[in-house]
Chain A
Amino acid sequence: MAVCIAVIAKENYPLYIRSVPTEDELRFHYTVHTSLDVVEDKISSVSKALVDQRELYLGLLYPTEDYKVYGYVTNSKVKFVIVVDSSNTALRDNEIRSMFRKLHNSYTDVMCNPFYNPGDPIQSKAFDNMVSTMMVQVS
């Protein structure tokens, strides 16, 4: 389960960001922000050397002491970032994958909604609910 989920536009500004309510919410924003450099690096290195690795899922971007940051890039260059707690060792790679999958499906629905203007912040309730199911529940 994630502690922070973010959707970043192709021009690298946030379309959506949600984190568990904590004292230092800003820290998640910072974490997501810094992860974008790693994403950029991964995409550009792929085009140079590893031509076979053209998967949308980028895997673990970087681990910090407390969190693990995972990334995913759509063909339209929209980035998804998921931050999970490092103590959560039970979470496996294909579970992260399926979370991104869900995120991508839901984002596609948002894009195909004629009332949504591409590039605007995402305010869809359906998207919000889907994200809620993937977040750590804090009671």
Chain B
Amino acid sequence: ARMADEVLFQFLHNELIQYVYKSAEHGEMENGRCITRLENMGFRVGQGLIERFTKDTARFKDELDVMKFICKDFWTCVFKKQIDNLRTNHQGIYVLQDNKFRLLTQISAGKQYLEHAPKYLAFTCGLVRGGLSNLGVKSIVTAEVSVMPACKFQVMIQKI
């Protein structure tokens, strides 16, 4: 049943991208708009998910404690693995590295589809931003891929 769960999420995620792109016009401008739309969808889902995942956990000590939760518990619940590496400059920038990001594993590992990677990462960027936002941490989340299926998520905390 767990295997089936994973596949369902991947299919749904793929369809989500298809749906957003098909219902949009073509052109460079539209690509950006689709990415934003996917990101916003992820944001709302992240808000809800984090509420559920933190229901039985103790209150967080600090920002780093929150980030560790995202890397371990949150990532395991959504992607069935942990983040492989978490780095921070201790000044509000965190880099989360996933060496085998679930939503990219079905895409050929070569350079051929590299340009399509951003749309497969937008929803997850929103997911992280939404989760953090609901825990009271405002941030900007971006992602980059150099070699598939590894990718890095950069979280920049917005200090108020």
Interface residues of A (CB under 8 A from B): 10, 43, 46-47, 51, 54-56, 73-77, 104-105, 107-108, 111-112, 114, 118
Contact = CB atoms under 8 A, between A and B. Distances in A.
Contact of A74 (B44, B47, B48, B54): B54
Interface stretch (B21-29, B58-66, B100-108, B141-149): B58-66
Interface in B95-136: 134-136
Given A10-B136, A54-B58, 5 more contacts: A46-B59, A104-B55, A105-B55, A112-B52, A118-B44
Contacts of A104: 55
9 contacts: A43-B59, A54-B59, A56-B59, A74-B55, A75-B54, A76-B51, A76-B134, A76-B135, A108-B52
A51 B62 CA distance: 11
Contacts of A55: 58-59
Contacts of A51: 61
Nearest to A118: B47
B57 interface: yes
B50 interface: yes
A118 B55 CA distance: 17
Contacts of B60: 54, 75
7 closest Cβ contacts across the A-B interface? A75-B54, A54-B58, A54-B59, A112-B48, A111-B51, A76-B134, A108-B51
